Amino acid sequence: MKRQPASDDVEQRGKLYEGKAKIVYATSDPKLIIQYFKDDATAFNALKKGTIVGKGVVNNRMSATLFQRLAKAGVPTHYVATLSEREMLCRRLDIIKIETIVRNVVAGSLAKRTGLEEGTPIRQPIVELYYKSDSLGDPMINDDHVRMMALATPAELAWMKRTALKINAVLRPHMLKHDLILVDFKLEFGRGAGRKLYLGDEISPDTCRLWDRATREKLDKDRFRRDLGGVEDAYQEVYRRLVGDAAGA
C-alpha cells in the first residue's frame, strides 16, 4: 500500500528501529521521526509475549493527549503531531539510557524490595533510576552509577528528576479527576537539537500503573503481566476516561 505524506512537508522514509511496542521510521526531515504503535505486548523483559487488541491506538492517542497537556504546563516533549490512529510525528531524540520511575503508591518491584504491602501510599513521591538495557534486565541504578557510566551529566540528571516530579504534579491530579490513581509510571528522556532535553517515548497503560479510584481495580499492563484477564477492556476504559469514546482497533 502506498503511504501518504506524513504531513504537508514531511514524508516517511525507512525503518530505523523496531522495539517491543513501537516501530520508529525516519522521515524526509532529519530532525523528525514517526512512531508507529503496535498491539504487541511483552512483560518481564520480553519473557512473556502476547497481543492486546487495539493497544496501539489507545497508547498513541492517549500519549498525544497527555503530551499536549504537559506541553501547556511547560514540559518539553518530543510530540509534534498525530498522523493517524497509530502514528505520531515526533522530534528525533538521542534517548538517554535511563528509565526514570516516579512512584506514588507501593506496587510491583517496590513492594518486593521493601516488604511493604502493595497499595501503601507514599507520602512524598519517590524517583528511581533504571539502566535501560534489555540484556541486563534494566537494573536499578543510582546517581553514582550514572556518573560512572557517563549516561548523563549531573545537570541533565538533576533536570530529569526535577521534570519527572513536575510531570507527576501535572498528571496525578488530572487522572484523579477521572477517577484514576496514578500509582507509578516510567519516563524516558532524550537529547534533541542543540542537546536540549525532551520527554520522549509514551505515556500509556503500558508505562503507567493506573488503578480505579473507588475499587482499586488494575487498569493497566499488570492485567497482562499477572494474567488477570480483561486487558483490552481495561485499556479501553482508561482511554474512555482520559481521551473520549472507545478507541478503534
In the chain the domains, ranked by start, together with CATH numbers, are: 12-91 (3.30.200.20), 94-230 (3.30.470.20)
Q: 3-state DSSP call for residue 96? A: strand
pLDDT of residue 85: 94
pLDDT of residue 249: 41
pLDDT of residue 227: 82
Render pLDDT for 151-208 as a digit per residue (tens, 0 to 9).
Answer: 999 999 999 999 999 999 999 999 999 999 999 999 999 999 999 999 999 999 999 9
pTM here?
Answer: 0.90
pLDDT of residue 4: 43
* CB-based burial label for 217 (10 Å; 0-12, 13-18, 19+): middle
Chunked in runs of 10, what are the mean pLDDT values of the chain (249 residues)?
A: 52 91 95 93 63 86 97 98 96 98 97 97 98 94 98 98 98 97 98 96 95 96 86 92 69
pLDDT of residue 54: 83
